[in-house]
Structure 1
Amino acid sequence: MASHDVPRVTQKRTEEQRLRDVEKIKAYRHLQDQTLSRAASGTYDLELFQLTTKLLHLNPEFYTVWNLRRRCLLSSLLSREADEQQQPGAGDRESDGSVLQSELAFTVPLLMRLPKCYWIWNFRQWVLSQAIARLPVPAARKIWETELGLTSKMLGKDHRNFHAWGYRRLVVASLESPELGGASLAEDEFAFTTAMIGRDLSNFSAWHSRSRLVPRILEERSADDAARAAFLAAELNYVREALNLGPEDQSLWYYHRLLVAQIANPPNQHVIAPRLSDQERATYLRREIEEIRDLLEDYAEVQWIYEALLECILALERLEGGTGRIQDESLGLQALLAKLRAMDPMRAGRWDAIEGHAALQNG
């Protein structure tokens, strides 16, 4: 699979190249037949294991062969004690550790070729689970920490690879677990999202991970109301600076929407700053409306800006509706809806519903 922003290139083949490919296909099919035939006999030995190695080098996306490899490992290479829930001896642990490390090393070049292949990631996850089951905690933890380093390397190669981001969250959760004698890595991971966003503002997965980490960080810091309000203000400034550089980027607006929801929703739905007063919430919303209007002066054709402005105006109306203090924003609402109808006629029903609801509230 191609990485982000890396175009596929198709080249015409010569007759000589075509004939070479025909021979490769014949060899591949012969190897496949050998592997599946031996597996059908139920013999999961070293010979079958070696066949899976050859076949997976040629085709890492052959998920059945990954399953055969697991069976070979359990039957012929790894100790049996862990399967029988008995305590393995020191020799078995050392042997198991060597086998597991070898398996992880085997998949690395395959991942470099196909960084979005589910079956490689799934197999590595299985190998890591075997490390927890079979090795002492310090040895198992070292393997998992190395795996965290691999995800950093993979995300350095393709920083929007959502497979690697999801896998990283799994690795972090395991490193934090009691099974590996772990402690929270939330602060480290939050800093990691900052670094990755700094490399590419369009990194939706980094923004998503950041949004999941925010509640944990505030909880672990035992943040009081003032600290929570300061954190919210800092995050708004952070995403606002990003929007000034990339206002057409959908991922930035999603994170902005999440922060605005923390201000606009009822207090019992807040996780960042639940005790903001109505006056403070209105001040935040007015500030966002002002900032978004400034963006429109330079980016008048970016739909995301209009939608964000609409959300903030509606939120302010819900907060101050009927007080007569938001007349300017109410007038702006009609112009906004007219612009959005022109830009996105496929959602005309949505714009009509918003207009009708606003008319009822102001009626």
Structure 2
Amino acid sequence: MSTHDVPRTSGFRTEEQKRLELEKIKKYRDLEDEFHSKTASNTYSYTPDLFQLTTKLLKLNPEYFTVWNVRRRLLISGQLSRSSPGSSRSTALSTFSSSATTTPSSDASSASRSTEIPPSRESPTAGRDGPSGTIHEAEGSSTEEEKAAATAEKNLAVLQHELAFIFPLLKDYPKCYWIWNYRRWILELAIEYLPLPAARRVWQEELGLDSMMLTRDRRNYHAWAYRRYLVAKLESPELAGQGMVKEEFDYTTRMTEWDLSNFSAWHNRSKLIPRLLDERGANDVARRAFFDEELGLVKRGLDVGPDDQSLWFYHQFLMSNVTDYVGRPTIVPNLDFADRITYVTRELEDIEELRDDYKDVKWIYEALLEYTLTLQRLEERQLNAAEKERIAGWLGKLRELDPMRNGRWRDIEADCKL
């Protein structure tokens, strides 16, 4: 498995390894020929043999999107069932939830007793001579509920089996789009085919699995994007959800504490902050305190890892809330002009101190360059002689540290009229 910090390697193959690989290729081609033969008519009727054939092929080649699509059709046509038209998700839910502790016979008898018609004065023996029409209706209703519950249990087993089938593939191929897409599709089926609490439980368990995936590869872009998808759905009315922004923000805290270089965790954090502050109903004082805390957090990271690009990107995001505040939501929307200038000036001073300890980190020089030009822009003035001299020195160092971007440094030099 190729993950972050794990280089791809292709070692020397022995003759035995080559022979085994050729056998694997032959097996794969035979399976592929059989697959094309069975699907040539384009009917895609479910058969256990064809479904098992898709399993074998996908284990060998999970990038084979045609096989995934055939598997989708087989699953819907042959394994998943809908409840009868008369039963609702809530009706199926009540029986599905109680089936673990209550037998169907007791359900039926209790339903019958609750709807019996007491003997009337005109017919003293009506309650003893036999079941009434209402009793028959109750028994019929109970039977429908039992059928709906059985259908829901069967569908749950099918969907869980599919999720279990995909999981080993994800471990071996964590960057394969088709596996992630199919997994999303299965989860959407859970909403369509299962009672609401059962569907929500499936999605919650999936969020736990995603956390485990991110433990294995904490910067896997697919797993982070999948997490945002899961959380958005768990928060939605479709799954009777509530806001999870606080929990997810805390999760990014744990992930960044574990690995300061986690681009995706910092990115997720930046997206959660506006919602977090809105849900807290934070006033200007609380927002500024929060901003100072975040800025202090990333600066403490830079003190020990000034060559960490992800930290500089998050620092840039935070400072953009001070410097580029017009026409977009920001953490500190009501800072006055003097405070904005103070923040930028203070960051320049702190980064200069960092440069004294780390002479050969290009991100430091880029930050000095960026915030000096930002200060000039905010104050709506020309660069003074001292600033031009410093910028010329920083550009010279950047040419040395990052010669691949010499064209960019020349453009900045021209813009600054050096």
TM-score with structure 1 setting the length = 0.91
Contact 1:66 1:123 in 2 (8 A): yes
Residues 260, 312 of structure 1: 8 Å contact kept: no
Task: Give secondary structure in 1 for the equivalent of 2:335.
Answer: coil
Structure 1 unaligned residues grouped into runs of 5+: none
Q: Return closer, same or farther for 1:74/1:225 CA change in 2, 3 Å cut-off.
A: same
Q: CA deviation at 1:76?
A: 0.5
- 2:315 is equivalent to residue 256 of structure 1: yes
In structure 2, give the amino acid aligned to 1:30: D
Of 309-318 and 137-146, deviating more is 309-318
Distance 1:202 1:113, change over 3 A: same
For 1:189 and 1:263, locate their aligned partners in 2 and report how far apart those are by CA, in whole Å. 25
Q: Are the equivalent residues in 2 in contact too, given 1:268–1:274 (CA < 8 A)? A: no
Report if aligned partners of 1:74, 1:80 keep a CA contact under 8 Å in 2.
Answer: no
Within 5 Å, give how 1:27-176 maps onto structure 2: 27-41=27-41, 42-45=43-46, 46-80=48-82, 87=88, 89-176=148-235
Which whole-Å CA distance do the structure 1 matches of 2:378 and 2:294 have between them? 22
Matched, 1:336 2:390: no
Q: Match for 1:56: what amino acid?
A: L
Aligned residue in 1 for 2:16: 16
The superposition leaves residues 119-147 of structure 1 with CA deviations (integer Å, 9 ceiling, x where unpaired) of: 11111100000001111111100000000
Tell me what 2:99 maps to: none
Shift of 1:347: 4.2
2:101 aligned residue: none
Q: CA offsets per residue over residues 65-106 of structure 1, 9 Å max, x none?
A: 111111110110011569x99857322222111101111111
C-alpha distance in 1 between matches for 2:281 and 2:70: 49
2:102 match: none
Alpha-carbon distance in structure 2 between the residues aligned to 1:21 and 1:47: 25
Q: In structure 2, do the counterparts of structure 1 residues 85 and 303 end up closer, same or farther at CA, with 3 Å as the change threshold?
A: farther
CA RMSD of aligned residues (A): 2.5
Q: CA deviation at 1:182?
A: 0.6
C-alpha displacement of 1:16: 3.2
1:247 pairs with 2:283: no
2:327 & 2:169 partners in 1: Cα distance? 48
Report the Cα distance in structure 1 between the residues aligned to 2:325 and 2:162, rounded to whole angstroms. Answer: 51
Cα-to-partner distance string for 1:242-284 (whole Å, 9 max, x where unaligned): 1112211211111111111111124444510011111111221
Runs of 4+ in 1 over 6 A off after TM superposition: none
State the shift of 1:164 in Å.
0.4
Over 3 Å counting, the alpha-carbon distance change for 1:327 and 1:294 in structure 2 is same
Structure 2 segments unaligned to the other structure (5+ residues): 90-147
> Which of these two proteins has the greater Rg computed from alpha carbons?
2
| Bigger relative contact order, structure 1 or 2 (CA pairs below 8 A, ≥6 apart) | 2
* Number of aligned residues: 358
Identity %: 53
Indicate the SS of the match to 1:79.
Answer: coil
